[in-house]
Amino acid sequence: MSSRHKEFIRVKRGNKKLVLQVSKIEWMGPHEAMSKWVTAKTLDSFIELSDLDREIKQLLLDPKYFGFCSQCKNYCVNGTMHSKTHCHSCAERYLGVVH
């Protein structure tokens, strides 16, 4: 898991459970974003590390939470995607879009 994903996905250890949370970006205005953590999945705390990795990968592939930027090849949390193929920063850099 790259450090980039860690900004958007966190694992919280609860009572006998692991809670997978995803950061959700909400735009209050054109330049005012607010992120909050939403629970995507609750897992058994005895889950193997490899299974946890798989769960996280599945989250990244879930269009409900993430988009994939074909320019910088990064998974970007929804709300930071300009379109289905470009994240905000790539849209600014390569498409000349001003946010």
Sign of the four-CA dihedral 82, 73, 84, 60: negative
Of 5, 37, 55, 71, which lies in the binding site for Zn ion, with binding defined by CB under 5 A?
A: 71
| Distance in Å, CB of 44 to Zn ion, minimum | 35
CA pair distance 60, 76, nearest whole angstrom: 8
State both tokens at 17. 């459970």
Complex with Zn ion: residue 25 or 72, whichever CB lies closer: 72
Determine if 69 is a binding residue for Zn ion (CB under 5 A).
yes
Alpha-carbon distance values, 25 to 2, 36, 37, 48, 61 (Å): 20, 7, 9, 30, 17
Complex with Zn ion: residue 19 or 72, whichever CB lies closer: 72
CA pair distance 54, 61, nearest whole angstrom: 11
Stretch that binds Zn ion, among 12-20, 27-35, 41-49, 62-70 (CB under 5 A): 62-70
Determine if 90 is a binding residue for Zn ion (CB under 5 A).
yes
Determine if 23 is a binding residue for Zn ion (CB under 5 A).
no
Residues binding Zn ion (CB under 5 A) = 69, 71-72, 87, 90
